Structure 1
Amino acid sequence: MVIASLLRGADRGEDESQSYTGLTNPSHFLAHLLSYMETPPYLRKALFPMHPNLRTAGTLPSLDLPSHVRINEWSPYRRKRPPAVAVSPATPREQDGYYWGYSVRISASLSAVLTECPFDGGYDLSFGTSERGQPLSEMAAAKDVDLADRGISARNVADLFDYWVNLVPAQGSRTIRTEEAVWLGLMALRGVVMENGAGA
């Protein structure tokens, strides 16, 4: 998941963890919350110090990801505090086919999202969402995919992405909120990724 940001506090050399709030830098706020939600509940207190952004984080919905292993569940992987054998976050997916959660990357701008890809050779495919897009099932096969929501304004916006897709054909409402569109897009993408053999 990539979030475009102006990196206001970090550019001035400030302590990034305390230099912003949801009002001063919404992109960092969203990245902070997404990272918090992805972290297993039993590690949150150790990994996330007190911050104004997390004041109401307890009201966020539980994701119940496979990485959020319960006490009575067995898993060959578990996120722990030391002592433990450290493995790459990609190991559960690459070796055993476990979906282990998402990662959050902050970019300076939308163009940086598309040009500063962390994968060798760039993204296989990028797409934006629109109610006038084509169904997701018509997309080409891809392994590394970038999702951007429809809140973009540019003159040549059609040229930004390889495809424009409609995540919810015949949705029955005028609009879908961004927070709903992100989860719908990720759920729909999982099926495309699984069909193309890119892991669990």
Structure 2
Amino acid sequence: MALHIFIPDSLLEETPDPKIRTYKVGQIARAAAIFGVEHIWIYKAGGKDGKFIKLILEYAETPQYLRKALFPIRKELKYVGVIPPLRTPHHKLKGRPALGEIREGIIIKKGKRLYADIGLDELAIVEGSGEGRMTFKIVSVKPLKVVSAKPVEYWGYRVHLTNKTLAKTLKKARLDLAIATSRKGEDVRKVKLPPLEGEIGFVFGSPRKGVMEILRDFNEDYPFDLILNTIPNQKTKTVRTEEAVLATLAVFNFIRRD
């Protein structure tokens, strides 16, 4: 099972303060990491912050030792210090290299030889080819050597800024189960849910508009499998998108049986 969440590019439309804007996106990143979301989709909803949201999400997902190389200094990153650390398995700390360990790294070319910075005190010799950021497995400690590898545990999320409307973004994602969240949806406690298998997507609205209203704004419709109220009996007038993401993923984390 792979989890997808869909958030609008208008996520920050009511948040002018740059520090709070960064923190709000960081909360989305944190929720995604806690519950093992593999894909975050940013869809077009009339907002202007899609690129900023993507940048902050990708910065948060990147291991600390790679950020300086992958993210040049820019004003949009001024307040990234407020983002809570994800502490996911691929956010390794420095230590002694261990045979068979999987680490994220970035390719560094020196002459004809390829090396990788994998967050240790020395660069690792790369056996094989590659470029940019990659996932590596340590195959030798002395000398330190790595090969490209695929992790077997949760390894962070990918961010997709589609610049497409919600319905088109959902079609692009090719989900097996599409779930819209709405205060007017069916009570999640009373719905018989189908098996949670394959590619599962949760769709969230903006601070001002719900999912269905956003679809109507673009003269769209989408055949959701479920439209659910995942926060029944809420006592506040509104629920912020980052709060809805956390609450919804928590509910389904309890339900899932894998």
Using structure 2 for the length normalisation, give the TM-score.
0.56
**Residue in structure 2 matched with residue 135 of structure 1 by the alignment:** 188
Deviations 1:34-84 (A, max 9, x none): 111111111111111122221111111222212112225978311123133
Q: Cα distance, 1:176 vs. partner?
A: 1.6
**Is contact 1:43–1:80 with CA below 8 Å preserved after alignment?**
yes
Are 2:167 and 1:111 equivalent residues in the alignment?
A: yes
Q: Cα distance, 1:185 vs. partner?
A: 3.1
**Residue in structure 1 matched with residue 91 of structure 2 by the alignment:** 68
Q: Cα distance, 1:159 vs. partner?
A: 4.5
Question: Structure 2 vs 1, CA of residues 41 and 189 (structure 1 numbering), >3 Å: closer, same or farther?
Answer: farther
**Residue in structure 2 matched with residue 177 of structure 1 by the alignment:** 240
Q: Cα distance, 1:139 vs. partner?
A: 2.6
**Residue in structure 2 matched with residue 164 of structure 1 by the alignment:** 227
| Partners of 1:32 and 1:115 in 2: CA distance | 24
**Is contact 2:167–2:220 with CA below 8 Å preserved after alignment?**
no
Query: In proportion to residue count, which structure has more strand?
Result: 2
Question: Structure 2 vs 1, CA of residues 177 and 59 (structure 1 numbering), >3 Å: closer, same or farther?
Answer: same
**Is contact 2:181–2:230 with CA below 8 Å preserved after alignment?**
yes
Moved more, 150-159 or 122-131: 150-159
TM-align CA RMSD: 2.8
Question: Structure 2 vs 1, CA of residues 143 and 187 (structure 1 numbering), >3 Å: closer, same or farther?
Answer: farther
**Residue in structure 1 matched with residue 140 of structure 2 by the alignment:** none
* Matching residue within 176, 192, 208 for 1:124: 176
Q: Percent identity?
A: 31
Question: Between Structure 1 and Structure 2, how many residues are aligned?
Answer: 167
Q: Which amino acid aligns with 1:181?
A: A
**Is contact 1:5–1:28 with CA below 8 Å preserved after alignment?**
no
Structure 2 residue ranges without an equivalent (≥5): 1-39, 107-115, 117-123, 125-145
Are 2:138 and 1:85 equivalent residues in the alignment?
A: no
Structure 1 residue ranges without an equivalent (≥5): 7-23
**Residue in structure 2 matched with residue 10 of structure 1 by the alignment:** none
Q: Cα distance, 1:190 vs. partner?
A: 4.3
1:3-152 correspondence to structure 2 within 5 Å = 3-5=42-44, 25-72=48-95, 76-81=101-106, 82=116, 83=124, 84-87=146-149, 91-92=150-151, 96=152, 98-107=153-162, 108-117=164-173, 122-133=174-185, 134-135=187-188, 138-141=192-195, 142-151=197-206, 152=211
| Partners of 2:198 and 2:252 in 1: CA distance | 10
Q: Which amino acid aligns with 1:54?
A: L
Question: Structure 2 vs 1, CA of residues 167 and 70 (structure 1 numbering), >3 Å: closer, same or farther?
Answer: farther
Q: Which amino acid aligns with 2:193?
A: M
**Is contact 2:167–2:221 with CA below 8 Å preserved after alignment?**
no
| Partners of 1:45 and 1:68 in 2: CA distance | 14
Larger RCO, structure (CA 8 Å, separation 6 or more): 2
| Partners of 2:252 and 2:148 in 1: CA distance | 29
Q: Cα distance, 1:25 vs. partner?
A: 3.4
| Partners of 1:71 and 1:112 in 2: CA distance | 42
Question: Structure 2 vs 1, CA of residues 54 and 160 (structure 1 numbering), >3 Å: closer, same or farther?
Answer: farther
Q: Which amino acid aligns with 1:150?
A: G
Question: Structure 2 vs 1, CA of residues 44 and 147 (structure 1 numbering), >3 Å: closer, same or farther?
Answer: same
Deviations 1:163-200 (A, max 9, x none): 112222333322221122223334444455x52x4xxx
SS at the partner of 2:167? Answer: helix
